[in-house]
């Protein structure tokens, strides 16, 4: 039997699902020292701080329950509060519970992504191995594995986006366009998807825009009959989303969470455009992460952008030639992808989060690359194209395993904030207040921590918007220590201090360790 026979590749796919699931769970079994750093990110800890405070009766808040916050995505935060309810707020057991929940959601993603892959691959090939192979590649990809286990909403959001597209397909393929069942299901799924992450609004606008255009101009269902089924579906989305939107507007003055406003402060036109080629390339070829030193090389940027553009363009042409309503599902997904790239690449700030923000585009780009490869291999090697494609798929999965293994090597991947946590734990009493720009990790492990970049602190955000800095805010606060990355030392050593004599007179630099990326200021 050939090494790349369909039976053997199916066995590898099953093994991939098992091993990638166990990989997601290994920190739970290795104890607190591994659990706290393996997958958890700075922003993940922000979300878990709020989830824990909800569970112990402090509501959606930070800073030991003293500052109300909406700087999270609501659905995942509520789900992640469950382990803290069950453990009376235990911080270590709570993280373990969140990791288990995240792994369960990722496993659910196998079936959601497979349903999408099977749907969009049907016009090209009805062989069941291809949707499973692409799903396995998505599940084992280092980027996707890390993004689905980071203590944030990314995994849940990816699942819900896939379900939204599959639900949209059911709307377009139902025999009787007047039936309300599929449109109402789309409304429910779409509303939940919005609660998973608010930028799902881009997907929902794309879906409803394509739905309206298809129903009125292609299927000729008529304007009024189309609106009769679309309006209740859209109203259901608004109904499900409205409690969160109303809460944001009444309590925080904007329907956009404070985290979104704070991250946009670092934006500017095309601020992140130079990062798009590498990220889109990585999600087109999930087994090929681009080294950071290569990402900003002009020759790579132009080559990657051209490669992705050609693949997507050829795929859309292939899809359109196949006909059928599935192409309209792909069109909605493509519009969403273009909108996300435009928004996060040309308007938004916080470029260091771009990989996570755009990770929901991976299924579309991966299936586009496969379909183009399928068409090319079928034309160049018509005798046995399936065997060649299976071989390429096996190679891609093996590369993913090698990359995941490399991440286990000590020093290859570091969380980057525990030097601050360790110093605060060793030197600051529990009842003393700490301030930092980055307070996700330290704020989780030290309750009395005040956020200064505004991502979860509306007061700091207001000061940043009105004064341009938080120096007066810090001086007037209860903060005794400022502990963060070593750049915070400049607050008393150069132009930052020159802008505010009060701050320079109130705080001294007591620790500066560039080699450990750590600095600490203390109130006099």
pLDDT band at 499 (very low <50, low <70, confident <90, very high): low
Mean pLDDT for 373-402 is: 93
Would you say residue 463 has pLDDT above 60? yes
pLDDT for the residue numbered 382: 84
Beta strands in 11-113 (DSSP E): 61-62, 67-68
At 200, list the tokens. 């799902």
Would you say residue 415 has pLDDT above 90? no
Mean pLDDT for 375-403 is: 93
pLDDT for the residue numbered 292: 87
Mean pLDDT for 408-432 is: 92
Q: How many CA atoms lie within 13 A of 424 on its CB side?
A: 31
User: Tokens 């090698």 label which residue?
Assistant: 402
pLDDT for the residue numbered 500: 66
pLDDT for the residue numbered 89: 97
| 353: DSSP letter | G
- What percent of the chain is modeled with pLDDT above 90? 83
pLDDT band at 468 (very low <50, low <70, confident <90, very high): confident
pLDDT for the residue numbered 228: 96
Query: pLDDT, tens digit, for every residue of 439-448?
Result: 999 999 999 9
Question: Do residues 240 and 204 lie in contact, with contact meaning Cβ atoms separated by under 8 Å?
Answer: no
pLDDT for the residue numbered 359: 96
pLDDT for the residue numbered 322: 92
Would you say residue 433 has pLDDT above 70? yes
User: Tokens 């402060």 label which residue?
Assistant: 265
pLDDT for the residue numbered 352: 83
User: Tokens 């690359």 label which residue?
Assistant: 369
Q: How far apart are CA 420 and CA 443, in angstroms?
A: 10
pLDDT band at 496 (very low <50, low <70, confident <90, very high): low
pLDDT band at 261 (very low <50, low <70, confident <90, very high): confident
pLDDT band at 85 (very low <50, low <70, confident <90, very high): very high
Would you say residue 168 has pLDDT above 90? yes
Would you say residue 410 has pLDDT above 60? yes
Query: pLDDT, tens digit, for every residue of 282-294?
Result: 999 998 889 988 9
CA distances to 422, 446, 504 from 428, rounded to whole Å, are 10, 9, 21
Question: Do residues 273 and 346 lie in contact, with contact meaning Cβ atoms separated by under 8 Å?
Answer: yes
Q: How far apart are CA 245 and CA 267, in angstroms?
A: 24
Question: Do residues 413 and 438 lie in contact, with contact meaning Cβ atoms separated by under 8 Å?
Answer: no
DSSP-derived 3-state class of residue 257 = coil
Would you say residue 418 has pLDDT above 60? yes
Question: Do residues 506 and 457 lie in contact, with contact meaning Cβ atoms separated by under 8 Å?
Answer: no
Residues in the chain: 524
In sequence order, what DSSP letters do the residues of 393-446 get, joined into one string? HHHHHHHHHHHHHHHTSTTTS--S-HHHHHHHHHHS-TTS-EEES--HHHHHHS
Would you say residue 151 has pLDDT above 60? yes
pLDDT band at 101 (very low <50, low <70, confident <90, very high): very high
| 515: DSSP letter | G
pLDDT for the residue numbered 125: 86
pLDDT for the residue numbered 384: 85
pLDDT for the residue numbered 311: 98
Q: Which helix (H) or strand (E) holds 379?
A: helix 362-380
Would you say residue 190 has pLDDT above 80? yes
Q: Which helix (H) or strand (E) holds 326?
A: helix 326-346
pLDDT for the residue numbered 224: 96
Round the CA-based radius of gyration of the chain to a whole number and report it.
Answer: 24
In sequence order, what DSSP letters do the residues of 149-200 get, joined into one string? TSSSSHHHHHHHHHHHHHHHHHHHH-S-TT-SHHHHHHHHHHHHHHHH-TTH
Query: 351 or 321, which is more confident?
Result: 321
pLDDT band at 266 (very low <50, low <70, confident <90, very high): low
At 481, list the tokens. 């220590």
pLDDT band at 494 (very low <50, low <70, confident <90, very high): low
Question: What is the sign of the dihedral through the CA atoms of 396, 377, 111 and 206?
Answer: positive
pLDDT for the residue numbered 159: 98
pLDDT for the residue numbered 505: 87
pLDDT for the residue numbered 411: 78
How high is the mean pLDDT of the chain?
94
CA distances to 35, 87, 353, 414 from 93, rounded to whole Å, are 10, 7, 27, 21
Question: Do residues 141 and 397 lie in contact, with contact meaning Cβ atoms separated by under 8 Å?
Answer: no
User: Tokens 């825009």 label which residue?
Assistant: 209
Please state the three-class secondary structure of 50-68 as a single string: HHHHHHCCCCCEECCCCEE
Q: How far apart are CA 362 and CA 138, in angstroms?
A: 8
pLDDT for the residue numbered 347: 87
Would you say residue 35 has pLDDT above 60? yes
Would you say residue 498 has pLDDT above 60? no
Question: Do residues 17 and 136 lie in contact, with contact meaning Cβ atoms separated by under 8 Å?
Answer: yes
pLDDT band at 497 (very low <50, low <70, confident <90, very high): low
Would you say residue 264 has pLDDT above 90? no
Using alpha carbons, select from 308, 318, 303 the residue that is nearest to residue 338. Answer: 308
pLDDT band at 504 (very low <50, low <70, confident <90, very high): confident
Mean pLDDT for 190-203 is: 97
Per-residue buried b or exposed e for 148-157, using 16+ beta carbons within 10 Å of the residue's own CB:
bbbbbbbbbb
Q: How far apart are CA 114 and CA 174, in angstroms?
A: 21
Q: How far apart are CA 207 and CA 205, in angstroms?
A: 6
């Amino acid at each position: 039997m050939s090494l790349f026979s369909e039976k053997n590749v199916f066995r590898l796919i099953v093994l991939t699902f098992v091993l990638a699931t166990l990989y997601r769970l290994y920190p739970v079994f290795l104890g607190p020292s591994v659990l706290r750093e393996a997958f958890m990110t700075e922003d993940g800890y922000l979300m878990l701080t709020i989830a824990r405070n909800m569970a112990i009766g402090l509501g959606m808040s930070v800073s030991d329950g003293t500052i109300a916050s909406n700087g999270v995505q609501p659905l995942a935060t509520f789900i992640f509060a469950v382990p803290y309810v069950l453990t009376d707020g235990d911080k270590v057991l709570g993280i373990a519970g969140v990791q288990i929940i995240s792994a369960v959601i990722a496993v659910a993603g196998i079936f959601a992504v497979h349903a999408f892959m099977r749907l969009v691959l049907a016009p090209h090939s009805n062989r069941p191995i291809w949707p499973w192979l692409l799903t396995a590649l998505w599940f084992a990809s280092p980027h996707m594995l890390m993004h689905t286990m980071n203590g944030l909403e990314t995994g849940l959001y990816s699942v819900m986006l896939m379900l939204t597209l599959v639900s949209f397909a059911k709307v377009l393929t139902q025999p009787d366009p007047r039936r309300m069942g599929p449109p109402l299901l789309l409304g429910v799924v779409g509303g939940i998807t919005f609660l998973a992450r608010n930028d799902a609004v881009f997907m929902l606008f794309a879906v409803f825009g394509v739905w309206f255009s298809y129903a009125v101009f292609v299927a000729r269902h008529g304007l009024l009959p189309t609106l009769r089924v679309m309006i209740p579906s859209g109203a259901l989305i608004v109904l499900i989303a409205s409690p969160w939107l109303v809460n944001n507007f009444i309590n925080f003055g904007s329907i956009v969470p404070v985290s979104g406003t704070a991250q946009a402060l670092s934006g500017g036109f095309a601020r992140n455009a130079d990062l798009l080629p590498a990220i889109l390339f990585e999600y087109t070829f999930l087994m090929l992460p681009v080294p950071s030193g290569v990402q900003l090389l002009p020759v790579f940027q132009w080559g990657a952008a051209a490669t992705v553009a050609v693949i997507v363009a050829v795929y859309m042409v292939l899809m359109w030639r196949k006909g059928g309503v599935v192409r309209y599902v792909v069109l909605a997904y493509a519009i969403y992808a273009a909108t996300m790239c435009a928004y996060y690449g040309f308007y938004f700030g916080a470029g260091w989060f771009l990989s996570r923000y755009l990770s929901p585009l991976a299924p579309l780009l991966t299936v586009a690359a496969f379909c183009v490869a399928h068409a090319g291999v079928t034309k160049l090697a018509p005798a046995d194209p399936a065997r060649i494609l299976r071989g390429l798929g096996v190679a891609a999965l093996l590369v993913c395993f090698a990359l995941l293994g490399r991440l286990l090597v000590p020093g290859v991947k570091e969380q980057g904030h525990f030097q601050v946590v360790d110093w605060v734990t060793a030197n600051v009493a529990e009842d003393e207040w700490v301030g930092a720009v980055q307070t996700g990790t330290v704020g989780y492990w030290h309750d009395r921590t005040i956020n200064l970049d505004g991502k979860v602190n509306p007061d700091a955000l207001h000061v940043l918007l009105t004064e341009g800095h938080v120096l007066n805010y810090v001086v007037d606060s209860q903060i005794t220590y400022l502990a963060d990355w070593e750049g915070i030392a400049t607050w008393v050593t150069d132009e930052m201090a020159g802008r505010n004599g009060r701050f320079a007179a109130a705080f001294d630099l007591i620790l500066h360790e560039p080699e450990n990326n750590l600095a600490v200021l203390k109130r006099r």
